Each structure stands twice: as C-alpha cells, then as structure tokens.
C-alpha cells in the first residue's frame, strides 16, 4: 500500500514538472500512449503495451480453416481369382471301380469361367437323401440315422451352407423338399424333377450341390466316424462324388464336373489339410448330367456328430467362395 502511494505521488510531481517546463509539447506527451504506459507502470508496477488509438480498423479475427484432404483415387475392387498348376493334381487321389480316361492336370488347370456373385440365383443346394442324419442329437428317427426333423437331417446342413454363401455375396436357392420319404428308391427320380424345374425357372444357376452324408459300420454294426483335426477342432471329412457315362447313360460333359471337383478339392485342402477324402468317380450319373457344375458331396458319415458336419460345411463354404469369380 505504501509503495502504491509513493508511486502515485511521484506521478503527480513528474506531470507537474513536465507541464511547467514544456508547455503545450509537454501536454501532448502526457496524453501520448507512451506516457500513459509509463504512468501505468508507476502506479501499478506492471508494463503495458501501448495501444494505437489512431487506428480505426476493427481487429480482424482469422478463423482457422480445416486442412483440405485430397481423396485417394478410387481403386477397382480387388477380385481374387486362383490359379492352379499341373503339380496340384498330384496331391489328389481319385478312386473308382473302373478304368477311366481323364487328364487330371489338364482338367485342374482349365480356366473356370463363371461369376457366382450377383442378384440372380447362381447356386442350387438340394438333397436327394434329405432324411439322412448324424450320430448325435435328440430326434425322432424314421429309420436308423434318418429323420424328418429338419434341425437334424441334411436340410440343416444345407441351410447352414446357404447362409454362409449368401453372406459372401452369392445368391442361393435351397430346396427343402423331402425326396427320399416315403420312398427311398425314388430319391433320385424325385430330386431330378426338382433340379430340372429349378434350372428352367432360374437359368442363372451355375452350381448344383447335392449334399449327403456317408455311412460306415464296423464288424459289430456300430457306426464309424471319420474325423479331421484342424486348428484344435474336430471336423467331419468331405468327399466329392462325380458321376460319369461309364454306366451306359448319356453324360457327355462329366469331365467338366470333374474339373470343378479338382479345383474345389485343391482349395479346400489348402484351407484345411486332410479335409477331403479321395475324390470318387462313379458309373452312375446322380443327375449331374442335367447341368455343368453339378457335384454330389458327402458331408461326413452317420457316425459323425452334427456339430462336426457343420464345421466341415464352414470349410466347404470357404472353398466355394474362393472360386466365386472363377479361376485362371
């Protein structure tokens, strides 16, 4: 407080002396910004930056602008198209009960020209033996390891596979008709009629999958499970069954289906080694003569659990999706 009084007294004395010595010039100095700043210091002990009172321009406030972001040039969607080599065919064993003529390396490396993605249905899933079931679950049987319960028979496997393919951008038709009940002998007759109707209604279909499960028994009549272990999980194996014309029925393009089976098996083995059993050639046609791109697939066997079959279907879906845009 005493310092403040002392500074104020000093200001008064200094101003009086300036006015007496300088007259009007002293008055101008006292009114100047520099003198005001100095007097402010004498009163408060703090420095003050002089203000240019002659300027009439308002202070301009500069608003920072957001940095301009140059968008990255648009790139075409990358489509992965697999390529196969003749050596890939050496890893596939083909089983048959007859002598056949087929150049496996040439069939495997033959380009696959199709596009499965899009709005139109491109895949048909059907079940000639609809009621086949597995060695697990609480369900009513129509005969041993057969049931009309859609949660436990082949319809459940087909629905699961269809859902996975649709999530991958493939439009799927899943036929839920029961073809093997009440007459098992008319299974393929009934499913043939269904496939013909779908192909006529949807000419966009490029892949027809008839999903089954196999059956094995030991000497005591017990169901045998074939399993595959991959990444800590137990899966049911898959087997491709390709029909031919060696039984005497017309099937001139059966090697086209064999070509597809070779490609798909190669892809599946790359994802899950050991998932595929030997590719099976048969003298029967299994309705595969109706269109190019038809395969019969055994998803496990009656001794496998339903969960193991679903795991196998996951790998199958991955293999199909890898070929959705064909191959080089």
Lowest model confidence (mean pLDDT) among 28-42, 183-197, 250-264, 311-325: 28-42
| Domain co-membership, 20 together with 155 | no
Residue 40, pLDDT above cutoff 80: no
- Model confidence over 141-165: pLDDT tens digits? 999 999 999 999 999 999 999 999 9
| Domain co-membership, 139 together with 259 | yes
| Domain co-membership, 158 together with 20 | no
- The DSSP string of 49-90 is ----TT--SPPPPPPPPPPPPPPPPP-PPP-------GGGGG
pLDDT value for 145: 96
Contact 319, 247 (CB under 8 A): no
- Distance between CA 212 and CA 301 in Å, rounded? 9
| Domain co-membership, 138 together with 262 | yes
55 domain residue, yes or no: no
Range of the domain at 33: 2-44
CATH number at residue 286: 3.40.630.40
Residue 206, pLDDT above cutoff 90: yes
| Residue burial 120-150, b: 16+ Cβ < 10 Å; e: rest | ebbbbbbbbbbbbbbbeeeeeebeebbbbbb
- Model confidence over 256-270: pLDDT tens digits? 999 999 999 999 999
- Distance between CA 312 and CA 223 in Å, rounded? 19
H-type alpha helices, the chain: 2-22, 24-31, 33-44, 104-109, 154-167, 187-201, 254-271, 306-322
CA angle 286, 292, 294 (to 5 degrees): 40
pLDDT value for 265: 98
pLDDT value for 273: 97
Residue 28, pLDDT above cutoff 60: no
Mean pLDDT of the chain: 85
Contact 213, 154 (CB under 8 A): yes
56 domain residue, yes or no: no
163 domain residue, yes or no: yes
80 domain residue, yes or no: no
- Distance between CA 21 and CA 225 in Å, rounded? 119
| Domain co-membership, 36 together with 98 | no
76 domain residue, yes or no: no
| Domain co-membership, 206 together with 318 | yes
How far does the chain reach from its first CA to its final CA, in angstroms? 94
- Model confidence over 98-156: pLDDT tens digits? 999 999 999 999 999 999 999 999 999 999 999 999 999 999 999 999 999 999 999 99
| Domain co-membership, 222 together with 291 | yes
| Domain co-membership, 16 together with 109 | no
> Angle between the 154-167 and 306-322 helix axes, to the nearest 10 degrees?
30
pLDDT value for 60: 38
Query: Phi and psi dihedrals of 93, rounded to 5?
Result: -100, 130
| Domain co-membership, 91 together with 188 | yes
- Distance between CA 75 and CA 270 in Å, rounded? 29
| Domain co-membership, 157 together with 11 | no
Confidence of residue 250 (pLDDT cuts 50, 70, 90): very high
β-strand partners of 117: 170
| Domain co-membership, 38 together with 178 | no
**Structural domains of the chain, count:** 2
Largest separation between any pair of C-alpha atoms in the chain: 135
- Distance between CA 162 and CA 144 in Å, rounded? 27
80: left (phi over 0), alpha (psi -120 to 50) or beta: beta
53 domain residue, yes or no: no
299 domain residue, yes or no: yes
Residue 280: which H helix or E strand, with range?
strand 279-282
Confidence of residue 65 (pLDDT cuts 50, 70, 90): very low
Whether the predicted model's global pTM rises above the 0.85 cut = no
Where is pLDDT greater, at 80 or 99?
99
| Residue burial 28-52, b: 16+ Cβ < 10 Å; e: rest | eebeeeebeebbeebeeeeeeeeee
Residue 205, pLDDT above cutoff 60: yes
Closest CA to 298 of 115, 286, 148, 290: 286
Confidence of residue 80 (pLDDT cuts 50, 70, 90): confident
Decide the pairing of beta strands 238-243 and 228-230.
unpaired
pLDDT value for 12: 53
pLDDT value for 17: 57
- Model confidence over 291-308: pLDDT tens digits? 999 999 999 999 999 999
49 domain residue, yes or no: no
| Domain co-membership, 11 together with 159 | no
């Amino acid at each position: 407080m005493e310092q403040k009084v002392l500074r104020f007294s000093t200001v008064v004395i200094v101003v009086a002396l300036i006015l007496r010595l300088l007259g009007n010039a002293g008055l101008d100095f006292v009114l100047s910004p520099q003198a005001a700043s100095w007097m402010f210091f004498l009163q408060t002990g703090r420095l003050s930056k002089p203000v240019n009172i002659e300027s009439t321009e308002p202070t301009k406030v500069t608003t920072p602008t957001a940095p301009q972001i140059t968008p990255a040039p648009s790139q075409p969607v990358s489509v992965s198209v697999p390529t196969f080599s003749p050596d890939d065919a050496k890893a596939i064993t083909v089983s048959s009960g007859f002598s056949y003529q087929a150049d496996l390396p040439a069939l495997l490396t033959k380009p696959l020209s199709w596009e499965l993605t899009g709005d139109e249905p491109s895949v048909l899933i059907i079940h000639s033996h609809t009621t086949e079931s597995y060695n697990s679950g609480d369900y009513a049987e129509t005969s041993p390891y057969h049931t009309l319960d859609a949660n436990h028979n082949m319809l459940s496997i087909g629905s699961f596979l269809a859902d996975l393919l649709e999530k991958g951008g493939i439009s799927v038709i899943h036929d839920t008709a029961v073809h093997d009940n009440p007459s098992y002998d008319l299974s393929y007759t009934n499913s043939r009629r269904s496939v013909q109707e779908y192909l006529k209604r949807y000419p966009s279909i490029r892949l027809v999958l008839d999903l089954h499960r196999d059956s094995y028994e030991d000497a005591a009549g017990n169901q045998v499970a074939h399993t595959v272990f991959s990444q800590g999980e137990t899966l049911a194996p898959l087997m491709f069954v390709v029909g031919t014309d060696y039984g005497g029925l017309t099937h001139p393009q059966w090697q086209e289906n064999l070509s597809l089976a070779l490609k798909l098996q190669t892809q599946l083995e790359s994802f899950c080694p050991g998932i595929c059993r030997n590719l099976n050639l048969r003298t029967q046609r299994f309705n595969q003569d109706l269109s190019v791109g038809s395969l019969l697939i055994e998803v496990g066997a009656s001794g496998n659990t339903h969960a193991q079959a679903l795991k196998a279907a996951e790998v199958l879906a991955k293999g199909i999706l890898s070929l959705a845009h064909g191959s080089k």
